[in-house]
Chains A and B, each alone.
Chain A
Amino acid sequence: MTLEILGISVLWIFLFGYVIVASIDFGAGFFNAYSLLIGKNHILTNIIKRYLSPVWEVTNVFLVFFFVGIVGFFPQTAFYYGTILLVPVSISLVLLAIRGSYYAFESYGARGHIGYTLTYGIAGLLIPASLSVVFAIAAGGYVDITDGQPVLNYWTLYTSPFAWSIVVLSIAAVLYISAVFLTWYAHKAKDREATNLMRKYALAWAIPLMLSALGIMYEMKFINPESYNNLVNLWWMFAISAVLFIITVVLLWMRKNYGLAVSLLIAQFAVAFFAYGIAQYPYLLYPYLTIYDSFTSTQMAIALVIAFILGLCLLIPSLFLLLKLFLFNKNYVTGKEDNHA
């Protein structure tokens, strides 16, 4: 394995980590707001709060890790993506800022403020939509080079069915992932009402998820035939992902083994996410930037890999402690203990 592949694999894993934890977070915020609107928030709010409170800050770090890492391993991405993404990423940043701070305001300051809850819920759907546009841009066809500077062609992007499919997929995935996770979490908390409600949402979002995923595959054919061929060659990975998806849905349907359903869900998305990533190889921005021509110096790459390994030695035990004390602690999950400062 070359350092380039190692670098992009590490970053892709962290991006996947962000996709999962952020989906749970964004979806939870949306379901919380939605349940407030339909008058069922007494069922969901406690469960959602109890999960989100200790982890909201950690979610954000996965994102920071990804964008700092990609500039470190592939400095030219700063030039290309930095120049073209000013507007879309600034919008995402404003939404993330509003969402992150309002969560703290709501949970620690003014409890139960309706305006906060709704803003929080809506921002949670707009952020994945605005961030996922980057995937469409990376696939190619929306960037021109004028006078040696990359320029984003907004009109082509906004009228592209491919970009819109990605947006739909990201929203459906957020709601589906979050609903499955919260079904399991509510079940662990022995909250039957919340479990049933979340299970219903999970089943409802499974269909749009699959339809938008198929739509992306179809449109890729016209956007970027090279990646499309790669995708077709990786059909077996998507087949595995589909099987995992079906088993998850069946488990939910039969109200059985929600813990296994969550594991299968994560595996399903991991397989599909990596298959999609492999199909883009070797491009970071089609057709201008590959992982080879943008890679950092060998000295820096080695230094980063060493820092990464040392960092993981700190990170893994800390994350484990976090999971042990909150996610897998019976008294905390069921709400018997509230040791909030």
Chain B
Amino acid sequence: MNDSAVMWSRALTELTLSFHIIYATIGVGIPLMIMIAQWVGLKNNDEHYLLLARRWARGFVITVAIGVVTGTAIGLQLSLLWPNFMELAGQVIALPLFMETFAFFVEAIFLGLYLYTWDRFKNPKRHLLLLIPVAIGASMSAVFITIVNAFMNAPQGFDLVDGELVNIQPVLAMLNPAMPTKVAHVLVTSYMTAAFLLASIAAYRMLRGSKHVYHKKAFHLLLKLGLVFSLAALVVGDFSGKYLAEYQPEKLAAAEWHFETKEDASLVLFGMLDGQEVKYAIKVPYALSVLAHNNPFAEVKGLDQFSNDEQPPLYIHYLFDIMVVIGALLIVVAVSYVLGKWRGWKFISSQSFNRIVVASGPLSLIAVEAGWWFAEVGRQPWILRGYMKTAEAATTSGQVDTMLILFAGLYIVLAIGSIVVLIRMFRNNPIELEIEEHKQVEGCAGQ
């Protein structure tokens, strides 16, 4: 076994995935937002919402391009860096991987159709229809690829007899216990991230002094959607905790620094770890038992139940904290907006509130990253929990470190390129200008 190849393979996979999920999350969430905006625009005959859809779609193309190329990279890197794992996975979990390519195909085709047929149909509803396969395709690729990841956390659908895989059941492998919570969590947090990201753009424009009603409409629509999806994320997150307690107790125990199995377990928030001693932490009594089993007196398994070489690293607690705290904060932001709108609070139309909403987009991306790192590092040392350790799966090739530098360079170029292009695209064509041009075109057509 080549130890450094294992380390570099993990580093390269982590780098590629961390970069890919930024664009992938946007890619899953934004088509739904575009669809909703266009639907609202058509229903109310409101030009502003149609323009929202149109401008989001333009920016979306850039993020999709990066999502596609980095997705292709990780797709092939799985085989390049983890050949032993993919050989095994190919036998058991190839079905969702294969189905994902079809979802991706449909999305790619209809995105091209949607982008190049603006105003082409006499009946604008037809154009809206093109967006449905884009949104469904994007979400379905997330569903299928998350199923593969869920399988790595809770493998089933095969038997291992003398090192040979027998009795393979592809559908059972897909319907593994981790699947429902993982898929639901990935979907709702992607929608939530998209809503807050777009809301932070609207908030930013208003912060910079734009008084246009276009931004107010976007802001209003997106914070309402943000509320729905962040509450959904809370509910699904709670189910995920119960899943962990049942099927992956070592991950929950490591996340909560829960060393000893006991009843009435308390939830550890924040804090620092000094050896096995937890310092400066806020402990919420009974909360972990509630999170794990919906019962304040229930017993929660601790790390003492697992041998040292099967425990995940303890730093995942910080990642868990980051994810949960950001999630809670965003719920507060969305709730206060919707409540404030209803009760007529002045605060929600202030510049300070705009500043908070500007922060909400980047914060939700940080939560997505932290959540994925927590989920992935939390299943160490396994690549296939209970069956194959990460170290057994890595390539034996000696050049992984060089490839890491190569790809790091690529991602830097892609990150800078996409940000520069996106900023330029919208700075050179602000909404005021586009609405003005639109009126002129309409005026000419009317004469």
A residues touching B (Cβ–Cβ < 8 Å)? 53-58, 60-61, 63-65, 67-69, 71-76, 78-87, 89-91, 93-94, 96-98, 100-105, 108-110, 149, 296-297, 299-300, 303-304, 307-308, 310-311, 314-315, 318-319, 321-322, 325-326, 332, 337, 339-341
Contact = CB atoms under 8 A, between A and B. Distances in A.
B90 A57 contact: no
Given A57-B68, A105-B421, A339-B120, 14 more contacts: A58-B108, A72-B95, A74-B90, A86-B403, A90-B407, A93-B76, A101-B69, A101-B414, A101-B417, A104-B65, A110-B421, A307-B99, A314-B106, A318-B105
Interface in B69-93: 69-73, 75-77, 79-84, 86-92
Interface residues of B, number: 79
B407 A94 contact: yes
Top 5 nearest A-B pairs by Cβ distance? A75-B90, A72-B94, A109-B421, A82-B83, A104-B65
Interface stretch (B55-63, B248-256, B261-269, B337-345): B55-63
Give the one of A55, A78, A104, A297 with max B CB within 10 A.
A78
Contacts of A307: 95, 98-99, 102
Nearest to A331: B120
B235 to A, nearest CB: 31
Contacts of B116: 53-54, 325-326, 332, 339-341
Given A94-B407, A315-B106, A341-B114, A61 B87 contact: no
A78 B86 contact: yes
5 contacts: A57-B68, A83-B396, A97-B72, A303-B95, A341-B54
Chain A interface mostly? helix
Contacts of A83: 83, 395-397
B418 A101 contact: yes
A318 B410 contact: no
Contacts of B108: 57-58, 60-61
Nearest to B110: A318
A97 B73 contact: yes
Given A60-B108, A86-B395, A318-B109, A105 B102 contact: no
Contacts, number: 237
B104 interface: yes
A60 B72 contact: yes
Chain B interface mostly? helix
B154 to A, nearest CB: 19
B99 A311 contact: yes
A8 B322 CA distance: 47
A315 B424 contact: no
Contacts of A68: 75, 94, 97-98, 100-101
Give the one of B54, B68, B110 with max A CB within 10 A.
B68
Contacts of B54: 341
B413 interface: yes
Nearest to B130: A321
Contacts of B113: 54, 321-322, 325
A67 B101 CA distance: 10
B247 interface: no
A286 B189 CA distance: 47
B241 interface: no
Interface stretch (B163-171, B209-217, B281-289): B163-171
Given A103-B65, A297-B168, A81 B87 contact: no
A219 to B, nearest CB: 28
Contacts of B97: 68, 71-72
Contacts of B306: none
A97 to B, nearest CB: 4
Contacts of A310: 102
A61 B169 contact: no
Contacts of A64: 71-72, 75, 101, 104
Given A82-B79, A340-B118, A100 B90 contact: no
Given A57-B108, A341-B115, A89 B80 contact: yes
A73 B170 CA distance: 13
A91 B54 CA distance: 36
Given A65-B105, A71-B97, A311-B102, A299 B421 contact: no
A108 B417 CA distance: 12
A58 B114 CA distance: 14
Contact of A90 (B86, B406, B418, B425): B406
Contact of A71 (B64, B94, B120): B94
B403 A87 contact: yes
A62 to B, nearest CB: 9
Nearest to B116: A54
A39 to B, nearest CB: 27
Given A58-B105, A307-B98, A325-B117, A102 B417 contact: yes
B117 A315 contact: no
A68 B73 CA distance: 12
B399 interface: yes
Contacts of B442: none
A90 B414 CA distance: 16
A320 to B, nearest CB: 10
B137 to A, nearest CB: 9
